[in-house]
Amino acid sequence: MDLRHLKYFIAVAEEQNIGRAATRLHISQPPLTRQIQQLEDELGVRLLTRTPRGVELTQAGTLFLEEARNIRSIVEQATERTQRAGQGKLGRLDVGIFGTAILDAIPKLLLAFRRAYPEVKIVLHTMNKGEQIEALRQRRITVGFNRMVAPLPDIETKLVATENLLLAVSHAHPLAAQSSVSFRDLSEHPLVLFPTGARPNFIDKVMTLCHDAGFEPQISHEVGDAITGVALAAGGFGACLVPESATSLALPGVVYKPLTELPPNSRVDLSCIYRRDDRAPILEAFLGVVDHVRENLLGHP
Amino acid sequence: MDLRHLKYFIAVAEEQNIGRAATRLHISQPPLTRQIQQLEDELGVRLLTRTPRGVELTQAGTLFLEEARNIRSIVEQATERTQRAGQGKLGRLDVGIFGTAILDAIPKLLLAFRRAYPEVKIVLHTMNKGEQIEALRQRRITVGFNRMVAPLPDIETKLVATENLLLAVSHAHPLAAQSSVSFRDLSEHPLVLFPTGARPNFIDKVMTLCHDAGFEPQISHEVGDAITGVALAAGGFGACLVPESATSLALPGVVYKPLTELPPNSRVDLSCIYRRDDRAPILEAFLGVVDHVRENLLGHP
DNA sequence: CCCATCAATACCTTTAAAGTATGCTTACAA
DNA sequence: TTGTAAGCATACTTTAAAGGTATTGATGGG
C-alpha cells in the first residue's frame, strides 16, 4: 500500500464515481480503476460496490475512508513538524552557562531567542569553562557562554558583548567615600579575585591589567565565583573587580564604583562557543539571534 | 512522499549506515541513497549527516524517525481494522425487531452473535413488519425479524425457528381447569387476537387454523401486540393464542395451556429478512450465526 | 601514505504506473 | 423491447521511476 492509494481512494469515495475522481486527480479512468482494485486486493477487502451510476462505499470502505483521511493528515503534520525542525524552529537547544553573565546578558539573549523561536525548548546547564568545552565535544550542549575563551581548533567563538569593569566595595570601605576611583588606587587595597578554575580566566585578566598599570595587586582572597566575591567585598574583606552585569547583584552593604584611568583593553568580553563543524539549524538560528541582540540590546564600545 | 520512503528511512536511521540498511531491505546501496536524497529534497530538510563511518541523524531526522514509525504503525492498524471490517468482525449491525420473538429467540441469537463477533455494535430498532421492509429498502436496517413474511422480490427470508401454539387464559377461565385443551374447544370461547397492522399476520394464521378445524372463531378483541393480548386474557376478556415464546410473559393470573388436536401447519414461524442483494460481510456473519443457533438452541419440529 | 569503508554518481535494466482504445453491463427512454 | 448513454473493466502501449552494476570520491585508520 502506498500514500497514492489513499489519495486515490479518498477521491473516489468522495466523488462516488471513478471517472469523476480520475478527472479530479488529473489522470484517466482506467489507471484509477486499477489502483483501487489493487488496493482492494492488497487489503483483501471489498471497499466499493459498483453500481450503474458509479460506486458506493461498503462498511469496510467507510471505515477505511476515515482511516485514510486520518493517515494523510498525520503525514501532513509530520512533514510540517519536520520542516520546522529543519528550519531550527522546533526542537531543543542545550546551553551551557556560567559566571556573572547569567545575571544580565544571557537572560536577555534567551528571552529574545524564545520570542523568535517559541517552539524550541531551551535547556540550561550550569557548567564551568572546561566542562562546557567537554560537553560541546560530546554534544551534550550545543552552545556555551563564557569569558576569555582561548582559541581552539574545533570550537568556534563568537563575541556577544563587552562590559566595563566596576569596583565592588563595602560602603564602609575607604574607596567608597571617594567621588571617583582611579584604577591605580587599587594598588593600595587588597583585592578579592574570582573565579578559581580553568585558566586563563578573569583573574588573569585583572592581573594583566594591574601589571599594565604598573603595580602588583595585593590579593586578599581567590574565590570560586562573582557572587562569593561580591559577598566578601560586602563583608569588608577587600575590593572586588567585577563586570558591569554584576551590578544586578544588589547585596546589602555593597556599592559599585566606576573606575577612571583604566588601562587599554580593560573591557571584559562575553562570548558564546560552539562546535565549528556544527551545522544544526537551531544553532544557526541562535547565532542569528545573538547577532541581532548584540546590535540592539547589549552595551558595547 | 511515499510509505516506501518511510520504510527506507527507518532502516537507514536504525542501521546508521546506508549500505547495511540496503542489505536489510534487500536492495542495493545506490537506489537507497537516492531514495533518501529524494526524501530530503522533498521535505527540504537535511535528515542525515554523512560521516566517514556511515550516517547519523540530525535533530530533524530524529524527529522524523519518530513520526515515520508512528505513521507506519497507524497504517498497520488501519489495515487490520479494515480487514476485520471486511470479514464482518468489526462494524455495526442494525436490526429491526418486533413481536413476541424479542422475549426468547432474538435475545438468544443476538447474544450468540455478540459472543462470536464482539466488535460488532448491534443497534436494535423496534418496528413492525411494514416498517422493517421499508427500512431494509432504505438500508436503515440490515436485518429484520418477523413472522409470516410474504415473499418479496427484493427481500430474502430465512426461517429462524418454529414454535408451538399455546393458549393463554386467566386461571379463572373454564378452560384453565381442563387437564387438556383441544383446539376445537376454542370454538366455544371468545378469543383475543393480535397483532393489528400489516396483513397477513398472526391473526390471519389463527383464523385460517380455525377454519381448517371447521369452526368460526368468536373474536372478543383485536389488540396491537402479544403483551396486551395476554394482559386481556389475564383479565378474563377471553382466551389468547400465543406462540410458545410468550410464556416468558409471566403476568399474574395467567396460565398457558398446551393444545391438543391441532390442525396441520399450526406451528408459527419466526424468520429473519434482509435485502437479497446485500453482500455485507456482517450480514453474512450474522446469517451464519442464525444457522448455527437454529441447529443448537431453538426448538424446531 | 596507502588501504579499507562508505556514500555519491553515471549509466543501464526492469517494473509499474499512466495513457489510449475498446468491451461489457445496466438503467432509462422511446 | 430495443437502442442509447453512463460508467466500470480489460487489453495493450507508453512513460516514468525504482532498482541494479560499475565506478568515483572522500575520509579515517593502519
pLDDT in tens, B129-174: 889 999 998 899 999 999 988 888 889 999 998 889 999 999 999 9
What is the distance between the alpha carbons of residues B18 and B40, in angstroms, rounded to a whole number? 14
The per-residue pLDDT for B300 is: 45
CB B30 within 8 A of CB B15: no
Cβ-defined contact of B280 to A43 (cutoff 8 Å): no
Query: Residue A148 corresponds to which cell in the numbers above?
Result: 576569555
- Cβ burial, residue A218 (10 Å; 0-12/13-18/19+): middle
A297 contacts A112 by C-beta, under 8 angstroms:
yes
**And the C-alpha cell for A125?**
546547564
Chain A positions touching B90 (Cβ under 8 A) are 63
Residue A25 is predicted with a pLDDT of 92
Q: Which of B54, B45, B74 is nearest to B11 (CA)?
A: B54
- The number of C-alpha atoms within 13 Å of A65 and in the hemisphere containing its C-beta is 17
* Residue A38 pLDDT: 92
Please tell me the distance from the alpha carbon of residue B136 to that of residue A66, in angstroms, as a whole number: 25
Does residue A30 have a cis bond before it (omega within 30 degrees)?
A: no
The shortest CB-CB distance from A1 to any of B43, B46, B75 is to B75
Contact in structure between A157 and A151 (CB atoms under 8 Å): yes
Q: Which of B36, B42, B63 to mutate to test the interface with A (most CBs of A within 10 A)?
A: B63
Element (H, E) at B46: none
Q: Is the pLDDT of residue B298 over 70?
A: no
Q: What is the DSSP track for B171-197? A: TTSHHHHSSSEEGGGGGGSEEEE---S
Strand C bases near protein CB (under 7 Å) are: 5-11, 17-22, 25-27
Helix (H, G, I), strand (E, B) or coil at A135: helix
pLDDT tens for each residue of B233-276: 999 999 999 998 899 888 999 999 999 999 988 999 999 999 98
Task: Assess contact for A1 and A7: CB atoms under 8 A.
Answer: no
Would the Cβ of A26 be found within 7 angstroms of any atom in strand D?
no
Give per-residue pLDDT as tens, B71-89.
999 999 999 999 999 999 9
Cβ–Cβ under 8 Å, residues A59 and B117: no
Q: Which nucleotides of D are covered by protein (CB under 7 A)?
A: 6-12, 18-22, 26-28
Mean pLDDT of A43-51: 91
The conformational region for residue A197 under phi > 0 = left, psi -120 to 50 = alpha, else beta, is left
Evaluate if residue B299 carries a pLDDT over 80: no
SS (H, E, C) B288-301: HHHHHHHHHCCCCC
> What is the pLDDT, as a whole number, of residue B301?
41
DSSP per-residue letters across A40-75: HHHHTS--EEEETTEEEE-HHHHHHHHHHHHHHHHH
Grid coordinates in use for B221? Answer: 378483541
Beta-carbon separation of A45 and B81 below 8 A: no
DSSP A153: S
The predicted pLDDT at position A301 comes to: 41
> What is the distance of C-alpha B257 from the center of its chain?
33
Beta partners for residue B218, in sequence order: B190
Distance from CA of A94 to the nearest CA of B (A): 12
- For chain A, give the percent of residues with pLDDT over 70: 98
Q: What share of chain B is helix, strand, coil (3-state, %, to 5)?
A: 45, 25, 30
Residue type, B62: T
